[in-house]
Amino acid sequence: MYVERASRLLPGAVVWTNTPSRPGVGRVLPDGCMDLLWHDGRLMVAGPDTRAYLPGGATGPWAGVRFYPGTAPALLGVPAYELRDRRVELAELWPASRVRRLADRVNAAPDPASGLEDLAVRQAAGAEPPDPLLRQVVTALDAGRSVAATADELGLGARQLHRRSLSAFGYGPKTLARILRLRRALALARAGVPFAQTAARAGYADQAHLARDVRELSGLPLGELLGGGG
């Protein structure tokens, strides 16, 4: 079962736990975020996805801290594009001896989720604060503004916005906008809004455009995705 709550880390961050009912269940859709993960006593990082991630055969409980889009690279010390569509051990990014000490601390916590959140909060305290411009990028694109309009509003050139997006989000602003649009559409459809209205309100050209995007990003038709086919 999947459960999440707001984190005290940063606005928009989430702490979550999940115990899959069987191996391989639980399709993870792109969301523009990166996660710090705990599983079976190990610490890992999930990079930003450009397509649905299908878990392998790992069983047992998971815990994670999901960072607001664009905030994880400063805390982890690695640009997001290096982790795009990847799950890696934290020891690949930080010294192994340090990661072992951190894992021991998380494993000794009352529960892994709170231990993981404490780790993230301590790391954030020693890192540079997130660039407020990155949150403005997310806000503008999630409101449906075009990449060009977003760049103009923020006083950035197209190339500068693309370069900063690669480091912060793992991909360019057009891909981020597409992923955020998918999240808006799924929220509307799950609330019972008819697919045609969902497409129009989320910013798609039409229902067929929505259907193509959902299949390309999730790997499933919209109806099957909403029915739990993942």
Q: What is the pLDDT of residues 215-226, one digit of tens each?
A: 999 999 999 999
Positive or negative CA dihedral for 139, 133, 83, 33?
Answer: negative
**What number of CA atoms fall less than 13 Å from residue 132's CA on the CB side?**
1
DSSP notation for 14-79? EEEEE--SSTT--PBPP-S--EEEEETTEEEEE---SS-B---S--S-EEEEEPPTT-HHHHHTS-
Residue 26 has pLDDT above 80, yes or no: no
When pLDDT is cut at 50, 70 and 90, the band that residue 55 belongs to is confident
Residue 167 has pLDDT above 90, yes or no: yes
**Mean pLDDT value across residues 33-49:** 97
Whole-number Å distance between alpha carbons of 6 and 227: 26
The pLDDT value given to residue 8: 94
Q: Which residue has the tokens 């072992």?
A: 100
58: left (phi over 0), alpha (psi -120 to 50) or beta: beta
104-129 pLDDT per residue, tens: 999 999 999 999 999 999 999 998 88
Residue 181 has pLDDT above 80, yes or no: yes
132-150 pLDDT per residue, tens: 999 999 999 999 999 999 9
Residue 230 has pLDDT above 50, yes or no: no
Which one has a higher pLDDT value, 137 or 27? Answer: 137
Residue 210 has pLDDT above 80, yes or no: yes
- Angle, alpha carbons 62-63-69 (nearest 5°): 125
When pLDDT is cut at 50, 70 and 90, the band that residue 20 belongs to is confident
88: part of which helix (H) or strand (E)?
strand 87-89
- Cβ contact 123:10 at 8 Å: no
Residue 54 has pLDDT above 80, yes or no: yes
Computed over its alpha carbons, how large is the radius of gyration of the chain?
18
